[in-house]
Amino acid sequence: MTLDARWGADGGPQSDKTETVASRILVVEDDERVRASVRLALEDEGYEVIETATAEEALAAFERRALPHLVLIDLMLPGMDGFECCRAIRRVSTVPIIIVTARTDTHDVVAGLEAGADDYVTKPFVAKELGARIRALLRRARAVPGQPTQAINVGDLELEPEAGVVRRGGQEIHLTRTEFLLLCELASNPGRVLSREQLLERVWGYDYFGDNRLVDVHIRRLRTKVEPDPTNPNHVLTVRGLGYKLQAG
Amino acid sequence: MTLDARWGADGGPQSDKTETVASRILVVEDDERVRASVRLALEDEGYEVIETATAEEALAAFERRALPHLVLIDLMLPGMDGFECCRAIRRVSTVPIIIVTARTDTHDVVAGLEAGADDYVTKPFVAKELGARIRALLRRARAVPGQPTQAINVGDLELEPEAGVVRRGGQEIHLTRTEFLLLCELASNPGRVLSREQLLERVWGYDYFGDNRLVDVHIRRLRTKVEPDPTNPNHVLTVRGLGYKLQAG
DNA sequence: CCGTGCCGTGACAGTCTCGTGAAGACTTGG
DNA sequence: CCAAGTCTTCACGAGACTGTCACGGCACGG
């Protein structure tokens, strides 16, 4: 399986506003006419648009790492429906998702948001409002996939999220997928304590329900690979009662 | 329960999987009846609610660093209106903001989002939908890594509640969970005296029954770590007969 | 000046958290 | 289908943290 979409998602310090590159928006919508009009509206707002007619195609796009900055999903899709699509994307990515649909029932709104969507807009929508909501969401998420992430250095550790490579003292070391995601999450917030819940949500997916201790075990295995002396870690530190953090500096 | 969601997860009696905890939501709304109903709805969803009737009061709350995790703003306010309030908050904070109003005009939606709001919900709203949108937004806000966290400075003390970090004179110091919560509570109300009862309620939980002296002991432990000279504290001060306060600036 | 009550201090046992090893479930590739 | 690698769960023990207590000092009012 390809690497997690978010490996490229957390960029370094952002220069907001000045978007040198147009944000790329994936539109998942089966009705060709609607799709065309949405494309026009979005391109008018200055976005780059990619389209798929089905949820399956959308997921395939994620598989081959054609990562959008934001996803618009129609609820009524042939095959896998919008809710399913949303959940499936959430399993591999934290990309901002807006559900666009004709169904105005509150129950659907709630279901959509619970499925992992960030916003829910009902048709017929006004282009300007959709544009504003997209801007608001991008502003909040600051998602800049595809943009090469700078390498993160912590002590003698050196990791390249984009390439999926970790080195210690110049020597490349092998981490499993989960270990790598875990390390990336910690490294994205150096010095900051992350709770088990936060790590579970970000590494395993927001809808994961299971043992908290799972985190401990992976932390331990990560330590055996990353720490010179796993018993006295000086990178991956435990903060009792709170969680874990990566030693800053 | 007062502070961050993260703390509650491990502390309580094996409560995992439950959607953890009380985020603090600030409701800015002048109509008392609406405010009461919103409070009820939110508390039903398990949030802690603080209220202000005007934008000015809301900003004052930010001034004294009573920081909420999310803000609900009504558009029609006496004095400074909702848009203004939103912009003013954005100047000092990246806290998630939802604008709640009766005005459904698209133009208002766009203006609200452009003013820095994350979402815009029109009255009459369904409680369940509002709840879902709040959850979605909190989820998104938490998921954004690398965000500079809001810091509270008191003298040479510097604490970042979200990051779980405390520094004195730039030097990071280790506090236990309870000590940290206690300090956060005091720091959220600098210069203000907090009684033992208040501290017990906010740090240990409203349903805690035990010795008041418990607070004393933890204050002492906190002092040994936070004060240069624990015998003559100049941060954490005792107010005889009343409680404790954190020396302001 | 003294007594009362409030607060600081040190110690201690119970509780909770975390690290650890191991075993079973699951996934992937051949 | 098997085999290797990986993920998840579980139980146990050491250690950290918490809550309680007793004692003594100090401020305040009489």
What are the boundaries of each domain within chain B?
A: 16-141, 152-246
Contact A136 B113 (CB under 8 A): yes
- Cβ-proximal residues to B218 (8 Å cutoff; 6+ apart), any chain: B178, B179, B182
pLDDT over 90 (residue B219): yes
**Could you tell me the distance in Å between the CA of residue B17 and the C1' of nucleotide D19?**
27
Fold assignment, A152-246: Arc Repressor Mutant, subunit A (1.10.10)
The total of other beta-carbon atoms located within 10 Å of residue B242's CB is 11
pLDDT over 50 (residue A188): yes
The total of other beta-carbon atoms located within 10 Å of residue B59's CB is 18
Fold assignment, B16-141: Rossmann fold (3.40.50)
With H, G, I as helix, E, B as strand and everything else as coil, classify residue B94: coil
**Chain Cα centroid distance, residue A65:** 12
With H, G, I as helix, E, B as strand and everything else as coil, classify residue A243: strand
pLDDT over 50 (residue A165): yes
**Could you tell me the distance in Å between the CA of residue A201 and the C1' of nucleotide D9?**
19
pLDDT over 90 (residue A1): no
The pLDDT of residue A93 is 79
The pLDDT of residue A74 is 94
Q: Which residue has the higher pLDDT, B216 or A210?
A: B216
Rounded average pLDDT over B53-71: 85
Residue B21's closest chain A neighbor by CA?
A197
| Strand D, CB < 7 A, residues 25-44 of B | none
**Could you tell me the distance in Å between the CA of residue A220 and the C1' of nucleotide C20?**
9
Type and span of the H or E element at A9: none
Q: Which residues of A touch B10 (CB under 8 A)?
A: 196, 212, 241
For residue A196, give how far its alpha carbon lies from the nearest alpha carbon of chain B (Å): 8
Q: What is the pLDDT of residues A216-245, one digit of tens each?
A: 999 999 999 999 999 999 999 999 999 999
pLDDT over 60 (residue A145): no
pLDDT over 90 (residue A65): no
pLDDT over 70 (residue B8): no
Contact A129 B109 (CB under 8 A): yes
Q: What is the pLDDT of residues A107-143, one digit of tens each?
A: 999 999 999 999 999 988 788 999 999 999 999 987 4
**Chain Cα centroid distance, residue A27:** 17
